[in-house]
Amino acid sequence: MILTGPKIAASAATGRIVISPFEPEQLNPNSYNIRLGTTLLTYDPGTIDAYKPNPTSEIVMDAGGFVLRPGELYLGHTMEEVGSDYYVPLLFGRSSVGRLGLFVEITAPIGDIGFHGQWTLMLSPVRPLRVYPGMKIGQIMFFESSGDIELYSGKYQRSSGPQESRYWHDRLVTK
- Listed by start position, the domains of the chain span 5-174
All residues at 6 or more sequence positions from 147 whose CB lies less than 8 Å from its CB, including other chains:
none
E-only strand ranges, 11-65: 18-20, 32-35, 39-43, 56-60
CA-to-CA distance for 108 and 90, rounded, in angstroms?
9
Its CATH architecture, for the domain 5-174, is Distorted Sandwich (2.70)
Query: By percentage, how much of the chain surpasses pLDDT 70?
Result: 96
pLDDT score for 154: 77
pLDDT over 70 (residue 171)? no
The answer to whether the beta carbons of residues 142 and 3 sit under 8 Å apart is yes
At 173, is the pLDDT very low, low, confident or very high (cuts 50, 70, 90)?
A: low
Mean pLDDT of 120-124: 95
- The model's pTM is 0.90
The answer to whether the beta carbons of residues 65 and 131 sit under 8 Å apart is yes
3-state SS, residue 6: helix
Which segment of 47-51, 55-59, 85-89, 159-163 scores lowest on mean pLDDT? 159-163
**Among residues 71, 80, 135, which one has the least CA distance to residue 111?**
80
pLDDT score for 175: 54
Mean pLDDT of 82-98: 95
